[in-house]
Amino acid sequence: ARIAVLERESRTLQETLREEQRMAMIDALTGIPNRAAYDDRIEQEFRRWKRFARPVSILAWDIDRFKAINDAYGHKAGDKVLRVIGQHLARHVRDTDFVGRYGGEEFVMLLVGTSAEEARVVADKIRLEIAQLGFHFHDQPVTVTASCGITQFNDADTPDTIFDRADRALYQAKQAGRNCCVAA
């Protein structure tokens, strides 16, 4: 009887530990995976890409003029924007893909089996939908837009160089006037 009790306690502790590990990979504000989850997933996808050579694209997203939203409407409004956009991005990925909050107002997507050209079509559709989400603060409509940098895994890449290239493309999108997608 004592062994049975200890086995039940052990199973309960193991389940609790698994749940805590899962929650450690979720962004508390948006409910989508966080940077730690991205770090794990990019390593997995990179190894899989090295083995199978199927295209994988990375999309770096940033909410345009997010600081202005926080300054004008407050941090609760900014938090709402992050939640809504994070959930919107999550609805637009397949089960084999990944989306997570990279940090601040930045999000990252991995589109498995998708070239950069195909990813740009997807990104432009999502970008247009974000601009139509219809945010309202203090009963006034507020347009929120996002920019996206896109790239595809290449032979000389590491997980860091892949993200850096997507981030540079995102910077180019910002320089081009925001609310656009740039592939590199």
Q: How many helices (H) and strands (E) does the chain have?
A: 6, 7
Question: How confident is the model at residue 13, as a pLDDT?
Answer: 84
Whether 27 contacts 34, CB under 8 Å? yes
Residue 182 has pLDDT above 70, yes or no: yes
Question: How confident is the model at residue 6, as a pLDDT?
Answer: 86
What is the enclosing helix (H) or strand (E) of 72? helix 66-73
Question: How confident is the model at residue 94, as a pLDDT?
Answer: 96
Residue 19 has pLDDT above 80, yes or no: no
Residue 20 has pLDDT above 80, yes or no: no
Partners of 62 in the β-ladder? 106, 147
Amino acid found at 11:
R
Question: How confident is the model at residue 155, as a pLDDT?
Answer: 93
Whether 81 contacts 143, CB under 8 Å? no
**Mean pLDDT value across residues 124-141:** 92
d(C-alpha 112, C-alpha 48), whole Å: 10
**Mean pLDDT value across residues 117-138:** 95
CA torsion through residues 167, 172, 175, 181, sign: negative
* pLDDT tens digits, one per residue of 23-68: 679 999 999 999 999 999 999 999 999 999 999 999 999 999 999 9
More confident residue, 13 or 160: 160
Question: How confident is the model at residue 129, as a pLDDT?
Answer: 97
pTM for the structure as a whole: 0.88
d(C-alpha 86, C-alpha 89), whole Å: 5
| Residues identified as active-site | 105
Q: Which residue's structure tokens are 């989306």?
A: 99
* pLDDT tens digits, one per residue of 72-125: 999 999 999 999 999 999 999 999 999 999 999 999 999 999 999 999 999 999
